[in-house]
A = this chain, B = another copy of it.
Amino acid sequence: MNKFLQRRERLRELLAGEKGIVVFLGNVDSAAQYRDNAYKWRQDSNWLYFYGIDEPRFAAVMDLESGAEKVYADDFEIDDIIWTGPMPSVASLAAGAGVSASAPYAAFESDVAAALAAGRKVHWLPVSRWYNAVKIGALMGLDPAACFSAGKKGCPHASEALVRAVVKMRLVKDADEIALLDSVAEIGYLMHTTARKGIRIGRIEQEIVGDMEGVTLAHGWGTSFATILTQHGEIFHCHSHEFPVEPGRLLLVDAGAESNEHYASDHTRTYPSGGRFTSMQRDIYQIVYECNELAFSLTRPGVAYRDVHLAAARHMLDGLGALGLVRGDVDEMVADGIAGLFMPHGLGHNMGLDVHDMEDLGEDLVGYDPDQVRSSQLGLGSLRMARRLVPGNVITDEPGIYFIPALIAQWKAAGTDKGRVCYDALEKYLGFGGIRLEDDVLVTPEGACRLGSRRLPIAPDDVEQAMAED
């Protein structure tokens, strides 16, 4: 049976208690400089999951009661053919997605308006882009800004029933998806290996970024998110790459590939710029490495990923205590969120068609079981995946330790640490930067495995050896 039809039938089963229609909106091109100079075309992930048609300006309606389905788009005319080449007919693309009825794009709006006029419920997902916000807003009589997820809680106007059903499905990857994730992990391996081999004192960071992103473009759609390659690892999303590689620094590389089928990889490694860790760097690196390994060893069905985060936090505080950077009872420190000073982010997130899978649907609905309450602590509060794991979940395992001068100063001034942080000892770490080590993990019936056939060197000795051989 057609894969997309199968998914939509399952969606209808999950929505068996609901009435009305479900609308799906594909993306249109998104301007970079001006309207006709668009960013690289990227289809909406939910559309890809349920219809698979990787072309702009498509929409669809599914009638939950009659089961009728229709795909909306415009066939190409001679001008389109001259400028962008022939395209299969909309009817044939719809048929490829298992839908037998199609109509021009303009009919989408009139069909939805007719359903609304008839008093029928219209289910829609929170939007990701402003064009779709304007489109859905006009149909539903909403301000465009109200059509996005509002922070972590999702979009109050969108259909929560639809969101929950989509999340339930996309959280558990099917065999096709696992094969695609395995395959893009190979591109991720190549891009990170290219980066590691490109590290040389004096090279501008941007040159290394260019090399590694060239690999993602040669073998896939491009990067799955804006590449982070920086000697300022303490800045989580540092996208400036203007600095020459300096001796004695740590170079953090957090980067992923997106395949031509639009599945993501997401790996992080942190390298000693000159190929050998200083002893101070190695001490911190070792803790992060152990946290990564520990988290992986705990990852299995039935375990809440929130508890894995907390286990990693505990191990981190143990290690930082041994280095004299924190002091006190480790359980109390974990409970008080002291780890958040050093790792103000979560241990990991779901991954799939989006690198933070389904983030547009509302982080809490995606990453939290109904009985789980999101923490307000720094760090744990940023955890995007807290759920009890089930086979087919694909998550990242990405502990990190950072020394963020502005945050340390803020905690010190506010006494947030309740006396647990040794600020004097921290002084010499203020120029340290940060370390993060990240793998992509599939939850299996028996436990977990890492995606891809090869793991990037991660143990400190292995990293130094690989760099010596590069």
Q: Which A residues contact B (CB, under 8 angstroms)? A: 30-42, 45, 78, 81-86, 128-131, 133-134, 144-145, 148-149, 206-211, 213-219, 225-226, 232, 235-240, 260, 344, 353-356, 358-360, 404, 406-407, 410
Contacts and interface: CB of A to CB of B under 8 A. Distances in A.
A35 B149 contact: yes
Given A34-B354, A45-B33, A407-B78, A210 B206 contact: no
Contacts of A410: 78
15 contacts: A33-B353, A34-B354, A34-B359, A37-B354, A40-B226, A82-B235, A82-B344, A82-B406, A84-B237, A85-B238, A206-B219, A210-B214, A210-B216, A211-B218, A214-B218
Contacts of A356: 34, 36-37
A134, A239, A407: most-surrounded residue (chain B CB, <10 A)? A134
**Which 3 A-B pairs give the minimum distances between C-beta atoms?**
A214-B214, A210-B218, A130-B130
Contact of A209 (B134, B217, B404): B217
Contacts of A30: 30-32, 39, 129-130
A82 B210 contact: no
Contacts of A33: 42, 45, 128, 353-355, 359-360
A133 B217 CA distance: 31
B82 A404 contact: yes
Contacts of A232: 85
A129 B235 CA distance: 29
A82 B214 contact: no
Contacts of A45: 33-34
A217 B218 contact: no
A66 to B, nearest CB: 32
A34 B360 contact: yes
Determine how many copies of this chain the complex contains. Answer: 2
A86 B85 CA distance: 46
Nearest to A148: B35
A85 to B, nearest CB: 4
A31 B134 CA distance: 14
B128 A134 contact: no
Nearest to A232: B85
A406 B217 contact: no
A192 B355 CA distance: 32
Contacts of A238: 84-85
A141 to B, nearest CB: 14
B213 A34 contact: no
A34 B128 contact: yes
Given A32-B42, A40-B226, A42-B33, A129 B130 contact: yes
Contacts of A407: 78, 81-82
Given A134-B144, A406-B86, A38 B226 contact: yes
B210 A355 contact: no
A139 B314 CA distance: 51
B218 A209 contact: yes
Residue of A33, A210, A219, A235 with most partner-chain B CB within 10 A: A33
Contacts of A260: 206
Contacts of A36: 356, 359
Contact of A210 (B86, B219, B225): B219
A31 B78 contact: no
The winner among A30, A82, A131, A149 for most chain B CB atoms within 10 A is A82
Given A33-B45, A134-B130, A145-B134, A213 B206 contact: no
A239 B32 CA distance: 16
Which of A40, A148, A216, A356 counts the most chain B CB atoms within 10 A? A40
Given A145-B134, A213-B213, A81 B406 contact: yes
